[in-house]
A and B are shown apart, each in its own frame.
Chain A
Amino acid sequence: MSKRKYLNELHNYLFEKEVIRKDIDAVISDYAEIYDEAIASGFSHEAVVEKLGQPKEIYQGIKDTLHFDSNSNRNKIVAIMPFIATIMFFAVGFGFDGFSYAWAFYLLIPITAILVNVRGKERFIALTPFISVIVFFLLGFFLQLWHPGWLIFLLIPVTAITLNTKGKDRIVALSPFPLVITYVVIVTYVAYDFYLYGWAIFALIPLLALILKPVKLKDIIMIIAILAAVGMHLTIYFTTQETQYAWLPYLFPALLGILLGYVQVITDGEVNPNENKWVTVSFILIILIYLLISFLVGTIWSWSWIMLLLIPMIAVYDSSKFEHPVAYVPFICVITFMLLGMLGGYWNFAWMVFLLIPITAILTEGKSEDEKSDVATDTFDESSED
C-alpha cells in the first residue's frame, strides 16, 4: 500500500460517510503532512499506517468534528436509474428492433453513480471505460469499424496516466499509445505488411525513457543495444524475409535491461521491481492473445474485445482481491451478455444478467450501520487498560 492508496482509502471512506468536501480536504491534507513527517523521521509505510490508524478508526475518532452533506437526492437519482435504463432498453429494443445495442442504456447506471458519487480527476478516470464502450459500439454498429475502433479503449490508460503523472514521467508513460495507434493505422490503411516489421517503432519507448533523464554510461550501453536490435531486426526481415526469427535480436536488450535493473513494474503509482510482475505479464499476454485471435479469425472483432475485460478484472484482483466482489460483476455481466447476444442471438433477455450487479452489491456490500461503526474507540492501548 502506498501513501496515495492510504489517503485515497481515507478519502473514499469519508466520502462514503457523506462528509462535506471542505472537511475531507482538511483531514486529507493533515494526514498527508503527518504521513510525510513520519516517513521523514525514518518510519516505514507500515509503521506510519499503524501509528495513524485505518480509515474506519480515524473516522470514528474525528466524526464529532466533521460536517455532513445532507443532500440525499443524489442517492435517489442513482436508485432510480435502473428503472429508467430498463424502460429505455425495452423502448428502443421493441420500438426500433435495437436489442443488440439497447443494452448500452444500462451503462447509464454506473455512469450516473460515478457522476454523482465520484469527484475530481477520479471521476474522469472512472468514466472513461464507459465512454470507450459507447464510442466503440457507435463505431462498430454504425460504421463497422470494430477494427481499429478498439483503439478507443486506449482512452482508459491515457486518461489515467495524463491525470496522475506529470513532466517527463507523463511523456514516457504516454509514449506507447501514439505508437500503437500509428502502428495499427498504418497496418490497417496504408501497408498491411508493416505489421511484420513496423513494430520496431516500439523501440522508441525505452529509447525515449532513457534519453529524457541524465544519460549515464549504462544508459548509453542500453541505447546502443536497442538500436543494434532494431538494426538487426530490420536487416533480417528485409534480407531474408524470415519473419519468425526477426524478433530474436530483441532478446539481447531485454536480458540486458533485466540485468541493468531497467525492467520494472509499476504498482500503486510506485515503481516496484519485485512485485506484481505477473500483472504486467498478464496484461501483455491478454492483449497479444486478443490481437492474435482477432487478426487470425477476422470476423470476431465485434465481440473478441471482451477478452480485454480481463485486464481491469486482474487490476481489481491485484488491488483488492475479493474484498469487493461487486467490482468484478459489471465485467462478468458484459462478457455474459455479449456471449449470449453475439453467439446465441439472445439480446432480448440477455440484459437480465445486468441485474446481477445490484443483487451482488446488496448481498456483499450491505453491512449494517452497527457493523460499520463497530470500532474500538478507546483512546488507550488495550494493554494499558486496568
Chain B
Amino acid sequence: MNTQFKKGILDLCILKVVKDKEMYGFEIIDKLSSILDINENTIYPILRRLTEQKLFTTYTKDSPHGAQRKYYKITTAGDHKLSIYIDEWDTFIKHVNQILKGAVK
C-alpha cells in the first residue's frame, strides 16, 4: 500500500471525525492515533493542509484549564470533498470485495 494512498485515507478519516464532532488539535490526534496505527506527528500536518485548502475552518474556545483551544470545523467545501472521498472509498472497497469473492474472471 503506497504512502499517497495512506495519506488519502487519513484525509478521509480526519474529515469524517471532524464532521461528526468539532474537535481541537490534540483531541483529533489522540482519537485517531488510538484507533489507527499511525505516527501521531503526521496528523497535524494534514489538519494544517486541509485548513489551508479551506476544507476546515477554525475558531478558538477556552479550555477547562483556562488556555484557548483551536477547534476545527468542516466547511461546505470540506463536506463536499468528504462525500467524494466516501464514494471513492465505497467504490474501491466494492471492487476489492468483488476480487476477494472471485467475481473477477
Contacts and interface: CB of A to CB of B under 8 A. Distances in A.
A58 B37 contact: no
B7 A379 contact: yes
A65 B40 CA distance: 18
Contacts of B1: 386
B97 interface: no
Contacts of B26: 33-34, 37-38, 41
B49 A381 contact: no
B39 A381 contact: yes
Interface string B3-27: 1001100100000000000001111
A57 B41 contact: yes
B38 interface: yes
**A interface secondary structure, majority:** helix
Which of B40, B49, B69 has most chain A Cβ within 10 Å?
Answer: B40
A57 to B, nearest CB: 6
Contacts of B70: 29-30, 33
Contacts of B68: 33
**B interface secondary structure, majority:** helix
Interface string A50-88: 011100011001101100000000000000000000000
A274 interface: no
B48 interface: yes
B49 A65 contact: yes
Contacts of B102: none
B48 A381 contact: no
Interface in B31-63: 33, 37-42, 44-45, 48-49, 52, 63
A62 B48 contact: yes
Which of B44, B52, B67 has most chain A Cβ within 10 Å?
Answer: B44
Interface residues on A, range: 20 to 34
A377 B42 CA distance: 9
A40 interface: yes
A23 to B, nearest CB: 10
Contacts of B3: 377-380
Contacts of A25: none
B44 A65 contact: no
Interface of B: 1, 3, 6-7, 10, 24-27, 29-30, 33, 37-42, 44-45, 48-49, 52, 63, 65, 67-70
Given A53-B39, A381-B39, 18 more contacts: A29-B70, A31-B44, A33-B70, A37-B26, A37-B27, A40-B65, A51-B29, A51-B33, A53-B41, A62-B44, A62-B45, A379-B6, A379-B7, A379-B39, A379-B42, A381-B38, A384-B37, A384-B38
